[in-house]
Structure 1
């Protein structure tokens, strides 16, 4: 019984720590991908990982990665986050990272970090 309870606790913790594989919506306006990614970041446990699938993610707002969350892709050449704000410029942020958060295996384009 104790072993079963321990296994259940471990599985529940893993489910909280890692948010599922988010796939691109193909919504080039950026609204869908931005909302999905930010929601996953916001609900991830401190130190958890949000995993992005392969493809182009279009965002129309800045992503904020905080609380030790890792935003991980499938490789620099496979996972791209592209800022498509209505007036993108070199000053438009794609993402901000704070509180020990990390971004791994993702290409960011269309603005600055």
Structure 2
């Protein structure tokens, strides 16, 4: 077995493993017991997704598509949230000014 993906945490490893399984690539997620070595602190870098040697190339292609689509979604989310951010600050400032005005 080869490491196809080094995940940040065990949850991400299982997400990628599920994606690979949906493409008929058998996976093994390693690092379950290493996660608890640090107690309640979220440790990173211990979880890996393993695949069979003959599935490694296909698995890395699927993972590359996953990472490319994930990055594009994050950029869109930031752009969509920007008007809301300004609106929230504007409403907060209006509320503070209204409270100051009502107290005089």
TM-score bracket, normalised by the shorter chain, equals: under 0.3
Structure with bigger strand share is 1
Higher RCO structure, 1 or 2 (CA under 8 Å, sep 6+)? 2
TM-score where L is the length of structure 1: 0.24
Structure 2 length-normalised TM: 0.26
Q: Max radius of gyration: which structure? A: 2
